[in-house]
Structure 1
Amino acid sequence: MSTTEHPHSPTWPDGPMLALDLETTGIDPETARIVSAAIATVGGGNAPQTTTWLIDPGVEIPAEATAIHGITTDQARTNGRPPAEALTEITAALAGSLESGAPLVVFRAPYALTVLARECARADVAFLHEAAPVIDPAVLDKQVERYRAGRRTLPALCAHYRVRHGGPNNAAEDALAAARLAWRLPRVHPSLAAIPLAELHTRQQTWAAEQATGLQEHLRRTDPHATVSGTWPLIP
């Protein structure tokens, strides 16, 4: 991801970013266990680097989860790291990046960051002192192209914004794809690049809440009891 230098007006899309992706045992962030994790460091004029972890979640990996990410219970038990070891390394990498001022890129952050926080609590590993600033391409895309039809999955957004995705449901490829989206979105929509990172984080909290309200209203046309959480970037 090379960028054109603008020495007179550097903005966050020109600097380094760190992207996180998780593959898990399920879709409920309160109960899902991490099976694999990846961190991709991109931007700032350096070649992208990825670090990956295979983790033994300590529970059976459901067949439907294996069908998505391809990791079986046997594979995780045989080759996976103990959760506490891996989580300590993951949170240290995230904290170090955030302390340096680089944003954390997480596609659909409330799921991944909540899973990570709950796993840290189970393993008695300290979670991030503050998960900020976060860039969530899912929230940004929905805000800047609110009425676009079609799916808004990670592969769909990569196709729409013409960024490369090496293969869905692989933590390393998904992390890189999320990072490429975070790099690309402010170039397609320059208004995003003009917002300082701290303010962009705060705005995404507002946008995510508004988006959740809109989705909830839509869902209640068919299910009067549907609820959608608008908490971002993670569930307390």
Structure 2
Amino acid sequence: MSWNTNARAAFDLETTGRNSRAARIVTASIVVLGPDGAVEAEHEWLADPGVEIPAEAAQVHGITTEKARAEGRPAAAVVAEVAQTLQALFDAGTPVVAFNAAYDFTVMAAECARHGLPQLTRFSVLDPYVINKQVEKFRRGKRTLGALCEQYGVILDDAHTSAADALAAAQLLDAMASRFPELHKPAPHLHRSQVDWSAAQAADFQAYLRKTKPTAVVEGDWPVLAPHDAAGGGF
């Protein structure tokens, strides 16, 4: 059966920076949807990441270092609970929608390693960002969550809060599936397709960049980037 006739979930993080291998979780949200797309459960976390939250990041998601320290829970506890919730969904065969999933799941992988927690396994992930680049290869303009939601008529209130972004990603994928019937397939099959699509998309973009910058590298691992040193990385 196609993923969009079954229960699914949506996942989003707001963090301390752009470098997914170095960023720390600030907020996390997981929304569980029924087969009809109605919200059945919501999980939200606010973490004290244990490091300063750069001002530029705080301007995006609204969580300052002071707020995180005053109201957030210890990072290790939050990472453990998020990982456990995601793993329970995967173990139940529930796919998880995440926009630009390679970012969020690489952050999760790095945070689990940082806190000595098991890595996620057996997952089916559905990524509207990778899927859109496949089904609308020649689309012009930005492919941000906001831009694609506007194109597909999905309301995105409170953008850059993890709860709103997670729900919007799920609704965006539903809207895309209504337009592209080739997306109607079981979640594990679509997951495997996205692994191939992401690699091909990265290779094409890297070839384009190397016309002017011969050393350019575009990573195509999905949904988790291969680990390496997590040094540096600004928002």
CA deviation vs aligned residue, 1:100-137 (integer Å, no higher than 9, x gap): 2110111111111010111111112222123x211000
TM, length-normalised to structure 2: 0.91
Alignment of 1:60-209 (within 5 A): 60-130=52-122, 132-193=123-184, 195-209=185-199
* Corresponding position: 1:58 with 2:50: yes
> In the alignment, is the contact (CA less than 8 A) between 1:13 and 1:182 conserved in 2?
no
Equivalent residue number for residue 216 of structure 1: 206
Which structure has more relative contact order (CA 8 Å, sep 6+)? It is 2
Are the structure 2 counterparts of residues 118 and 54 from structure 1 closer, same or farther at C-alpha, using a change threshold of 3 Å?
same
Q: Any unmatched runs of 5+ in structure 1?
A: 1-9
Secondary structure (helix, strand or coil) at the match of 2:38 reads strand
Q: Distance in 2 between matches of 1:113 and 1:13?
A: 22
Please tell me the root mean square deviation across aligned C-alpha atoms, in Å: 1.4
CA distance in 1, matches of 2:195, 2:174: 20
Asked if the contact 1:18/1:94 (under 8 Å) is kept, the reply is no
Q: Please list the CA deviations of residues 156-186 of structure 1 after superposition, one character each: whole Å capped at 9, or x if unmatched.
A: 1111111121122110000001111222211
Worse-matched range after superposition: 82-91 or 69-78: 82-91
2:222 alignment counterpart = 232
- TM-score using structure 1 length: 0.91
Query: Aligned with 1:55: secondary structure?
Result: strand
Deviant stretches of 4+, over 4 Å: none
Separation in 2, partners of 1:213, 1:121: 28
CA distance in 2, matches of 1:199, 1:21: 22
1:43 deviation in Å?
2.8
